[in-house]
Each structure stands twice: as C-alpha cells, then as structure tokens.
Amino acid sequence: MEKKKINNKLNNTERMVYLKERAKRHAKEFNREFKKAMNTAIMAAFGFLIALVWKDVITEFVDKISSKAPIQGKLFSALIVTLICVTGILILSRVFSEKENEKK
C-alpha cells in the first residue's frame, strides 16, 4: 500500500510538471498569436492613416484633370481612382504571393 502512495505521488508530480509545461506552451502560443493580431491591427491603422492623408492629394489631382477633360464630374474621378486602386491591389497581390512562395 505504501508503494502505491509513492507511485501515486510520483504520478501527481509528473502530472503537475506536464500541466505546467502545457500551460507554458499554450501561453507562448497565445502571446505569439496576440502579437500577430496587434501587428496586423497597427499596420491596418497606419494604412488607413496614409490613405486619409493621400485622399486630399488624389482628390485635388483628379479634380484638376477632370476640369480639363470633356467628361466632367464624379464619373471621371471615380474611374481614375478605381484604376489606381485596382493597379495597386494587383501589384500588392503579386508581391505578397511571391513572399508567401519564398517562405514555403
């Protein structure tokens, strides 16, 4: 009976060590994922800030161009901004897909 108690204590100690290591592993994984999420959120905020700053510049530029064009107004502005944005999306898609392929 005494031998059973010793084995049981050892098993409890082993269990505690296992649970402690498991908790550390999960905490590290949580911290890593939290840092990734915070990094993404901060980068998105910076991107939004940059977009707001450039909005006025692009609007003024498009207004100057559209004032000289035969097609006046919002339609021409929307077409130019759409063209710029689609081009940017295509370029960024290729850059990020190349980086993803390099990681693999």
Q: Which pLDDT score is estimated for 81?
A: 79
Q: Which pLDDT score is estimated for 70?
A: 65
Q: Which pLDDT score is estimated for 50?
A: 83
Q: Which pLDDT score is estimated for 24?
A: 94
| Domain count within the chain | 1
Domain of residue 96 covers: 2-103
One pLDDT digit (tens) per residue for the chain, 104 residues: 455 555 556 578 888 888 899 999 999 999 999 988 898 889 888 888 888 888 888 778 877 777 776 666 677 777 777 888 888 888 888 887 776 677 65
Asked whether 77 and 63 are in contact (CB, 8 A), the reply is yes
Q: d(Cα 30, Cα 24) in Å, to the nearest integer?
A: 10
